[in-house]
Amino acid sequence: TYVVTEACINCKYTDCVEVCPVDCFYEGENMLVINPNECIDCGVCEPECPAEAILPDTEDGLDEWLEINTKFSESWPNITVQKDPMPDAEDWDGKDDKKELLSE
Ligand code: SF4
Ligand code: F3S
């Protein structure tokens, strides 16, 4: 599966949702997640994210993000249409240590 990682937080560009063939993105207040049980591993969303927030879960150190994607995709609403990014998306793009800012 692919997962959305920390880089999405406070950016939420939502380009990703437009290309997913199985509509498996879910929206929180300041981040999206992928439902790993629905993702078919096609990889088309990865290059679409301006923040490079989407990665295959086979990369090192992503266990925590796989858990977060799994957990929140069960309760957050599905999102399939692109919307405006977060107001300060450009300022937050590329910043480290955003994880503590994740709104549940
Ligand atoms: Fe959707 Fe494919 Fe991305 Fe999985 S890898 S979230 S199926 S676009
Ligand atoms: Fe987030 Fe990138 Fe999608 S910033 S909303 S994963 S396009």
Task: Give phi and psi for 15, each to the nearest 5.
Answer: -60, -35
Q: Which ligand is nearest to the CA of 79?
A: 2
- Residue closest via CA to ligand 1's atom 1 equals 20
Q: How far is the CA of 6 from the centre of ligand 1 (A)?
A: 17
- Spell out the residues 6+ positions from residue 31 whose beta carbon is closer than 8 angstroms to its own: 4, 8, 9, 10, 12, 102, 103
In the chain, the percentage of residues whose pLDDT exceeds 70 is 100
Name the 3-class secondary structure at 32.
strand
- Kindly report, residue by residue over 24-66, the tens digit of the pLDDT: 999 999 999 999 999 999 999 999 999 999 999 999 999 999 9
| Full residue range of the structural domain in which residue 56 is found | 2-81
Q: Which ligand is nearest to the CA of 24?
A: 1
CATH of the domain at 21: 3.30.70.20
Residue 51 covered by a domain: yes
Closest atom, ligand 2, to C-alpha of 12:
5
In the chain, the percentage of residues whose pLDDT exceeds 90 is 99
User: What interface predicted TM-score (ipTM) does this complex get?
Assistant: 0.98
**How many structural domains comprise the chain?**
1
pLDDT at position 56: 98
